[in-house]
Structure 1
Amino acid sequence: MDFEASSGFSSISPPVFDGDNYQVWAVRMEAYMEALDIWEAVEEDYEIPALPNNPTMAQIKSQKEKKTKKSKAKACLFAAVSSTIFTRIMTLKSAYELWNYLKSEYEGDERIKGMRVLNLIREFELQKMKETESIKEYSDRLLDIANRIRLLGSTFKDSRIVEKILVTVPERFEASISALENTKDLTQITLAEILNALQAQEQRRAMRQEGAVEGALPAKHHENTRNNKKKKFFKKNQNFIGESSANNKTGVKKGSYSPCQHCNRKGHPPFKCWRRPDAKCTKCNQMGHEAVICRSKNQQHDEEAKIVDQEEEDQLFVATCFVRSESNESWLIDSGCTNHMTHDKELFRDLKPTNITKVRIGNGEYISVKGKGTVAITSCSGTKLIPNVLFVPKIQQNLLSVGQLIERGFKVVFEDKYSLIKDAANQDIFKVKMKGKSFALNPLEEEQTAFPIKENITEVWHKRLGHYHHQGLLQMKFKMMANDLPELDDQISSCKACQFGKQNRKPFSKAKRDKLDKMAEPGIFVGYSSSSKAYKVYQPQTGKLIVSRDVHFVEDEEWSWNDSEKRNQTMAELRFKLLVSDTEENRDEDWQNEVVDNTPVRAPKARRSVRRLLQD
């Protein structure tokens, strides 16, 4: 390392810290500042004593050196951080305060260190060597994780790395591992020995493959030479070959054969037909055809081609998520993603720093995380907030984690080429259709938004327009009196608010009823009157049994009871009132003289009366 004699600063610039790998940067920075003899100003916040009245040259020089060390240490730390971190520490006065701030911010206390160690150990245990990876690349990955664990103050022995390599290398290293197991004690073997043994086998395999390729080139060249000679011979004797090929071995021309009895084609005798009954295929071992026209062979090739196309399509899809130049505003529902991620910073309502500094993508690489916060997604049904979303600028596809949704109580169902997302109350939030073997949620598409309501669109517009009558809605649609009015049903189900609020007729005088009183009362249909066209309706609120012809039935609902005890008591009273009512009707001569019709026209369809239920 070269130093300038005048100033004492190194010509080599200090390592720059950008927020990642603080432990590695701290070790390098400590060695760098010790070499410049300014580490003392960082390690200890000492006070510079004032000079006496008549200072000596040694005192003046000592004071100047201490001031210079503190200034150099502060300037060195300012130069060793990125511009983003510099704006956070620019107000601190001394190098001691700068170092302690960075240490507490990015290294954390013992609890945070323990959490990071657990995450690194989990990452270490999930590592596995790829088929296209070399031993050196795989060992470098493992050593990088192990050293980061050691920098956090935890012990991590090389024996764990040796065990990890022995159980995770591919099958091509089985010979070397078996030899080591038979000749050495695996508990005593060092990391260098296992790496050297596996690298030696890897080099021998590579040399053999290179030799095989070099040996294949002359053979191919020799084969091409023979083919060229054949072509020259064919051109030279073209006329002779053309004459002889027109006849077969028996001297009969091909065109002179009659149609084959097996395939109805000309040009060959029946005993040479590929479809003769006594022919046996060597591919499928079936009679009736030869291997040249075997269908199972072609089907197998087609299936293999489909599998290859599917694998290439999947690989292209993974690459598309991270290579596309244009950003996709949709959200991909991913079951393999551990966190929600987005690249769009404008979607965040609040963005805070996070302990997660990197995430690993599908190809094994790591990309940096710049923060975590709550994202606001604007959909057709309103704005929905998604908490704990990672801000990953380098990713080109917004991702929704299935695991994180389930942890928060949501339900994600995949069926019939749809992905249905429900909240904790089992209400539908989004319904996403599968496109291109993936589920991409676009919140602004109406077909992907599931509104948590039970009414159809006709009932919704009926309520929006102040419970306007159904015929009026149909007239508005027919005469185009309102823009963008959707298609409406020809019929609408019963509306409770209309039944209670709209007056059909005036059976009572104004003195007995106010304007704001209910125009109808709810009740339970219990049967028909035996002597009139009226219905019997029981009102649980008042305990009265009413016989009336002006009844509107709500057939898709039933009476809701608060508790079973009240229901049993009401049923007992109702059974007694029905018995009394039947007795009075039978004794009443006026009702007996009246003609009794059949079942009323407005009777509910396929409904059992409460009287029959009570008798059961």
Structure 2
Amino acid sequence: MSSNNTMALIEKLTGRENYPTWKFAVQTYLEHEELWSCVSSKVVTDSKLDTKAKSKIILLVNPINYVHIQEATTAKEVWDNLAKAFDDKGLTRRVGLLRELITTTLENCQSIEEYVNKIMTTAHKLRNIGFLVDDEWLGTLLLAGLPEMYQPMIMAIESSGVAITADSVKTKLLQDVRNSESAALYVNKGKGNQTQGAKQAFNNKTSKGPRCFVCNKYGHISKYCRNKKKEQKSKEDSGYVAVFSATTSNSNSSWFIDSGASMHLTMHREWLYDEMPPPVSTIKVANDKKLIVKSCGKVDLNVVGENGKIATIKVENVLYVPELATNLLSVSQIIKKGCNVQFDKEGSKIFNKDNQLITSAKLINNMYRLNTHSVPAYISAVKDDDSFVWHQRMAHLNFEDLNKLSESTGVIKK
């Protein structure tokens, strides 16, 4: 490509807004033309080359800015004068851009595309003036500017263990828009005059912001959704919610960390002690089936901690749900106790208030299975070999009733 064609590709300097990118492009161009030494050197060593470099720089400046350079006699003077006029790396500039970055929200933008573009462009401007914008921080900021209706998506990203980056979050948000557009067009395909309805739905999306995460329709946000009260009432009527289905069981002795469960849940009453009446009568699981809650109590778990050491932890307020598919530990309840749950691509880890590792969970089939040892501590503390065999034979009858059975029949040796 010729020198003139290359110059034509460089945007002319218009002001502070495009100065950082203009500076980078022109410096690269001058280096390619072996003219950058005319700018970087304090002394003019070749007047012919200096004049050539000066001319090229001036031709890449918008005429409105000639006032800053018309008195300059060398390429370096032209370059330095433009830097004094437009290279704004001061505190005021940084504060202004940072304020714009952290105050931009999706609800203040007309579309998800505008929101993402505004965040990314502002971050780019900050980086151009030497302000470090960490990629993980930028990705988290993209999520922070989303309204409450996006909370399920944020929880799904957290549970996936995928590293948070600006690019991954941007792709997720824009993919959601494309999927929504495809769904709208599919629903209206082949329905004659409803084709215009699909176009209107798309126009509503781009002009009135993101779709409602309660009803999946455009034109309003979740706090104004007519279906929101119905959903809230449904949750109130059915008690706590768990994300696992009640129809299939992964393991009746395993425990899984669940960010969607409001309480700790178990299918085994024999694991409970210090029982009390449950706070709710039913819960609702992922397939919308309501399950009866029979009791509430504490469970002691033998977990594998740091360096493979076995430790016993007490889990309080565990609901006993006989029809449950598996045993669940609620992330929200763990956090309320002051602990911290961290997710990554291999699994998750639970830390105490002092940031010491309590135990971990392994990611298996997109579920986080807790690393437990043998049976719950309560059972291992009270059982002997014969009684535990009978406990299994009697369909996991709790040990209190099992002891009564042995006293009545004399079958189980003590």
Same fold (TM over 0.5): no
Higher RCO (C-alpha under 8 Å, 6+ residues apart): 2
TM class, shorter-chain normalised? 0.3 to 0.5
State the TM-score, normalized to the length of structure 1: 0.29
Mark the structure with the bigger radius of gyration: 1
